[in-house]
């Protein structure tokens, strides 16, 4: 039996479900039930990312996961609008939503929405990703929605002289330059995935000892090595993870944190080189982070070594971004004028 108390009933009366918002990536799905103002009434998590569906897409894999995750919210026959962002709009997704080019604003995303009808007749609105074309093209799917969610709740970055900077640490870390409510350009660093590949599939992992303790000093040492002695490049510095161990300067249980610091340090060193060509610098910059708290905390430590001391994490960027785009697309109407 489901527990219900008076305050929950009261809240439910005030906040009627108005939107199902999906953040559907490669390895996970997060689903939110929102009211018209974007208040989260309920949420569900599933490991059925687009590469991890219980049955192939051609056999209704997406429908199955959608029903299993969101079915309870629709049990009363409610016809809620559904919005989705992330790899669900890729060529391997439910339906491909072609990339929108930079500079990109929410209106461009809305114009690029594609619609897929579920077996039960609901329309799922899939938000497109963003492409920056060129000699080194960059793509994102999902992060554009988080970025607009962050901008909806934090206008600090609008006043940054060279454009605001938003970092999204992770498997494929993104750094986006935003101004006038647009994503002007962005960069991808394969930091998280490269760390995993080096730790699990090269000689560097062999001398590491796993531990639950995060060694901040070893992490900072890695960051500083990349910052101060990283001119030879990452292929050179990573070998020190092993040789500092061989020479008794780094314990086995410190080596993973050191390597993590090295890679994040190389990411920030590279980002700083990019910024330098735009007459900007991480030192003294105000920026924002989106991502899980522990990882953002690591990045704040690393950013501080580069002279950046104002790098707060923006919470709830995903839900806010999905709500904002749904509003702009006319899928819901807010009684407030905030958006």
Per CB under 8 A, residues contacting a second copy are: 131, 133, 135-139, 172, 187-191, 193-194, 196-198, 200-204, 225, 229, 231-240, 243-244, 246-247, 249, 263, 266-267, 269-271, 273-274, 277
- Shorter beta-carbon distance to a second copy: residue 73 or 187: 187
Q: Residue 50 CB, nearest distance to a second copy (Å)?
A: 13
Give me the phi and psi of 231, to 5 degrees please.
-65, -25
Unique residue bearing structure tokens 């590491």: 208
Among 57, 54, 122, which Cα is nearest to 91's? 57
Smallest distance from a second copy to CB 173, Å: 8
CB of 78 to a second copy, least distance (A): 37
Q: In whole angstroms, what separates CA 57 from the centre of its chain?
A: 24
29 SS3 class: strand
Q: How far is the CB of 255 from a second copy (least distance, A)?
A: 14
Question: 81-102 burial string, b = 16+ CB within 10 Å, else e?
Answer: bbbbbbbbbbeebbbebebbeb
Which of 244/311 has CB closer to a second copy? Answer: 244
* DSSP-assigned letters across all residues of 259-278: HHHHHHHHHHHHHHHHHHTT
Which of 84, 271 has the CB closer to a second copy? 271
The DSSP bridge partners found for residue 124 are: 82, 116
Judged by beta carbon, residue 16 or residue 197, the one nearer a second copy is: 197
Q: How far apart are CA 162 and CA 89, in angstroms?
A: 31
**Nearer residue to a second copy within complex by CB, 13 or 135:** 135
Least CB distance to a second copy at residue 163 (A)? 17
Alpha carbons 277 and 279: distance in angstroms, whole number: 5
How far apart are alpha carbons 61 and 53 in whole angstroms? 6
Minimum separation from the CB atom of position 46 to a second copy (A): 21
Alpha-carbon distances of 100 from 60, 105, 108, 111, 296, rounded to whole Å: 27, 9, 7, 9, 28
Closer to a second copy by Cβ: residue 179 or 188: 188
Closest by alpha carbon to 186, among 140, 155, 230? 140
Joined tokens for residue 289: 């982070």
Q: How far is the CB of 93 from a second copy (least distance, A)?
A: 14
CB of 184 to a second copy, least distance (A): 16
Q: Which residues have CB under 8 Å from 143's CB, separation 6+? A: 168, 174, 176, 186, 290
Nearer to a second copy, 157 or 262 (CB): 262
Compute the C-alpha angle 7/10/15, nearest 5°: 120
State the minimum distance, in angstroms, from the CB of residue 260 to a second copy.
13
Pick the closer one to a second copy by CB: 137 or 284: 137
Identity of the residue, 2 or 247, whose beta carbon is nearer to a second copy in the bound complex = 247
């Amino acid at each position: 039996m489901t527990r219900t108390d008076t305050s929950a009933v009261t809240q439910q009366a005030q906040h009627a479900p108005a939107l199902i918002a999906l953040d559907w990536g490669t390895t996970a799905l997060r689903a939110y039930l929102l009211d018209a103002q974007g208040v989260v009434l309920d949420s569900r998590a599933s490991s059925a990312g687009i590469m991890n569906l219980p049955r192939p897409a051609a056999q209704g894999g997406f429908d199955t996961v959608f029903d299993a995750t969101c079915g309870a919210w629709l049990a009363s026959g409610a016809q809620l609008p559904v919005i989705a962002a992330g790899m669900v709009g890729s060529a391997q997704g439910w339906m491909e939503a072609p990339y929108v080019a930079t500079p990109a604003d929410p209106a461009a995303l809305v114009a690029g929405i594609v619609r897929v009808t579920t077996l039960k007749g609901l329309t799922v609105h899939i938000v497109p990703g963003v492409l920056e074309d060129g000699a080194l093209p960059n793509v994102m799917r999902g992060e554009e929605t988080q970025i607009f969610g962050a901008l909806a709740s934090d206008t600090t970055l609008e006043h940054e002289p060279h454009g605001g900077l938003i970092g999204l640490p992770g498997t494929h870390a993104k750094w986006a330059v935003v101004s006038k409510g647009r994503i002007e350009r962005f960069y991808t660093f394969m930091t998280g995935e490269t760390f995993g590949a080096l730790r699990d599939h090269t000689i560097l992992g062999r001398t590491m000892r796993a531990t639950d303790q995060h060694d901040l000093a070893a992490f900072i040492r890695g960051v500083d090595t990349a910052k101060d002695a990283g001119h030879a490049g990452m292929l050179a510095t990573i070998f020190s993870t092993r040789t500092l161990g061989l020479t008794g300067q780094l314990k086995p249980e410190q080596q993973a944190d050191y390597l993590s610091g090295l890679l994040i340090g190389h990411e920030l060193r590279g980002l700083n080189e990019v910024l330098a060509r735009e007459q900007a610098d991480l030192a003294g910059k105000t920026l924002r982070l989106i991502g899980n708290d522990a990882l953002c905390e690591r990045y704040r430590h690393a950013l501080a070594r580069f002279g950046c001391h104002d790098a707060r994490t923006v919470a709830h960027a995903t839900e806010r971004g999905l709500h904002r785009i749904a509003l702009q697309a006319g899928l819901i109407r807010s009684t407030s004028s905030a958006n």
